[in-house]
Structure 1
Amino acid sequence: MDDDRAAGLVLGLACGDALGRPVEFETPARILAQYGEVTEMLADGTWGKPAGTVTGNTVLARRLARSLVERGEFDPADVAERFVAWYGTTPTDVGDTTAAALARIRDGEPWDAAGRRVRETSSTPTDGNGCLARAAPLAVAFASQEEQLVDASVESSRITHADPRCTAGCAVLTLTLSGLLSERSDPLSAALDRVDPPDALRESLGPVATGDLAIDDLDSVSGDGDGVVDTLRTALWYGLTAETAEEALVAVVNRGGDADTVGAVTGAIAGARFGADALPDRWLADLDDSDALRALARDLAALDVSGTPARSERPE
């Protein structure tokens, strides 16, 4: 595996997260009026944090990655425990589905039941995108082990997001990332064929894979990224079609909406595609813990992972 691409995936995720964080929940018009075009790491904005501050997207991705590195395998119970420890810090940016599932685990419910129970008992949609960005490091650890990558991606989603669109969406994302890391041709089409996702995902992502989706088509959907289908459609389109990683991230975060999460997923895709050296130095200089993230990517790439998740469920 190309170490620069592995580092690009991890650092790109964090860059997109931090770049989008100040304009989360904003509309394109409000972003333009307040900031002009966002091309730099901004301070304040949504959540009022310093420039380069990441959100739970990057924090949970790092926790999952540290579990992989320290245990030498994907252990969903350990990952869930690390997620619950983060939840115990009362983060401001935790989504409703994630919060509900982690609260259940904290209160004693098994990791492999909590997400399902949230889905069964919730009166609101549980197909949110909170499972996506954090799954990205799996693509580095399991880059050469497709079956284990699918299993781990599904299980990592099920900790909080058990909706089939979420479990399959995580698998499609990580398989696409793995293909980019290995410089395979048409990695999204291969991922869709391997996963055979629910109709909503296939119908949304198929035109991205075939190149039949234009920017006007993308703008005809909400683009706010709150759901896993919309997030993947937007992030994959920008991440796979942009001429540079910077172009992809600037374009996607200026759409507003769930800008940090869509930015993080887009950043992982663009980073895996172009490599860390293609990310702007000025972003990396402002980014929280960029050296530690680069080192974590090296550790992930060096892993010789073995075994499969404690439970294995193919995406429906």
Structure 2
Amino acid sequence: MSTQPSERQPIVITPDVEDRARGVLLASACGDALGVPYEFAKAPTHPEMIGGGLGPYDPGEWSDDTQMAACIAQGISGGASLLKDSTLDVIAENFMTWLREGATDVGTQTRAVLGGFDDYAGTASAKLKKSAKAYSAQTDRAAGNGALMRTAPVGLAYLDSPTATAQAAVAVAGLTHDDQLVDESCILWTEAIRNAVVTGEIAIRPGIDLLRPESRDYWTKAIDDAEAGSLNTHQNGFTVGALQCSWNAVHSVASLTGVEAVQLGIENAVRLGADTDTIAAIAGSLLGAAWGASSVPTIWSEAVHGWPGLTGDQYADLALTIIRGGN
């Protein structure tokens, strides 16, 4: 990641910015719930929020993607800084509470890392980081999509700074994943969210400038391939494949606007198959960032809900406390 400091640009929190911020969380949660019934099953032609899946889940209920994102959103809902260890400790504790009390489905890597919490000394976040590093050291499969799936609230934390957004992305990813590709995928997606909330425009390539110079060609090709439809959808549990599939779904509706873009883009994410809830949650976060909560289909926003006992509107409202809180 680039270490060059960037001067912060004050952001005016207008009603449009508020709507787009709420859209990040709401559309991501809706994508999650829409993808739940089809996770690692036959890809649907006409996806619906019918529940079931690996939970099993009630119709409209979100899964671990949004459950973990909610742990982050609640941890920074008062404007707490993701660049402070004390905030990361709160989020780490939230993750552990979720694992004990609310987890309906947990990814293999995340379960292993959280399961090692008590094996290490230090603060809550230090324990998880040590566990993540140990997991990474013993496998060549440490680049799962479990950090990228929960980037929605991270993209809201520093609307005034791409650099701080990138630093926050790495800090939060590191609680469960110790891998460069994971860090870089999270940087790209959180910056895309931040930029869309501020400007209303969808773009992922500006985030490439926040990466290490030696990584930029790799990600440029990955994004080019995603736009061309050169995808291995069966490998979207891998963080690079997850970003490619999510960007492919977002890019597929580049000519559309509003409700049509949000709905079709999320549906296209589910139609890609494999890790459907995760891909639709990731894609939804960026589509919601551009078009706002007001462009999320009402039938979805009224149905979506989940741990820790939140409705879709209540979850979306956490976005307002994040962007108004300051850091």
TM (norm. structure 2) is: 0.83
1:201 match = 219
Residue 59 of structure 2 corresponds to which residue in structure 1?
51
SS of aligned partner of 1:302: helix
Q: 2:297 aligns with which of 280, 288, 295?
A: 280
Residue type at the aligned position of 1:191: G
Match of 1:81?
93
Greater Cα shift, 254-263 or 178-187: 178-187
Return closer, same or farther for 1:7/1:185 CA change in 2, 3 Å cut-off: closer
Distance 1:160 1:85 in 2: 15
Q: In the aligned structure 2, how far is the partner of 1:83 from the partner of 1:285?
A: 26
Q: Compared with structure 1, are the counterparts of its residues 199 and 238 closer, same or farther at alpha carbon in structure 2 (3 Å cutoff)? A: same
Match of 1:235 among 246, 255, 266: 246
Is 1:95 matched up with 2:107?
Answer: yes
> Quick one: which amino acid aligns to residue 231 of structure 1?
A
Report the Cα offset of residue 90 of structure 1.
Answer: 7.0
Query: 1:16 matched to which residue of 2?
Result: 31
* Counterpart in the other structure of 2:165: 149
Deviation track 1:222-254 (CA, whole Å, cap 9, x = no partner) reads 355110001101111212441201010111112
Preserved contact between residue 59 and residue 303 of structure 2 (Cα < 8 Å): yes
1:205 is aligned with what amino acid? I
Deviations along 1:120-168, one digit per CA (max 9) or x if unpaired, are 023x511100001212211112111222211111011111111100011
Runs (4 or more) in structure 1 with deviation over 6 Å come to none
Number of equivalences: 290
CA contact (8 A) 1:12 1:271 kept: yes
1:100 deviates by 1.2
Give the superposition deviation at 1:48. Answer: 2.4
Matched to 2:114, the amino acid is: L
Q: Distance in 2 between matches of 1:48 and 1:111?
A: 28
Q: How does 1:50-199 map to 2 (within 5 A)?
A: 50-70=58-78, 72-74=80-82, 75-89=87-101, 91-109=103-121, 110-122=127-139, 125-183=141-199, 187-196=203-212, 197=215
Letter of the 2:240 counterpart: V
Superposition TM-score, scaled by structure 1 size: 0.86
The whole-number CA distance in structure 1 between the counterparts of 2:79 and 2:120 is 23
Deviation track 1:35-93 (CA, whole Å, cap 9, x = no partner) reads x521x311324432211111111011111111112462122222111111111237342
CA contact (8 A) 1:76 1:111 kept: no
Distance 1:144 1:71, change over 3 A: closer
Q: Per the alignment, in what secondary structure is the counterpart of residue 76 of structure 2?
A: helix
Displacement of 1:203 after TM fit? 2.5
Identify if the C-alpha distance between structure 1 residues 115 and 84 changes in structure 2 by more than 3 Å, giving closer, same or farther.
same
- For 1:187, what is the secondary structure of its paired residue? coil
Aligned partners of 2:53, 2:64: CA distance in 1, in Å? Answer: 16
Ranges in structure 2 where 5+ consecutive residues have no aligned partner: 1-12, 122-126, 306-310
SS of the counterpart of 1:203?
A: helix
| Structure 2 partner of 1:308 | none
Give the partner amino acid of 1:65.
A
Unaligned runs of 5+ in 1: 306-316
Corresponding residue of 2:46: 37
Q: Is the 8 A contact 1:26 1:257 kept in 2?
A: yes
Comparing 84-93 with 199-208, greater Cα deviation is found at: 199-208
Report the counterpart of residue 317 of structure 2 in structure 1: 295
The yes-or-no answer on 1:214 pairing with 2:228 is yes
Aligned partners of 1:182, 1:78: CA distance in 2, in Å? 27
Is the CA contact (8 Å cut-off) linking 1:27 and 1:255 kept in structure 2? no
User: In structure 2, how many angstroms separate the alpha carbons of the residues matched to 1:82 and 1:118?
Assistant: 20
Taking the aligned partners of 2:181 and 2:155, their CA distance within structure 1 comes to 19
Q: 1:207 to 1:183 in 2, by over 3 A?
A: farther
The amino acid that maps onto 2:77 is: V
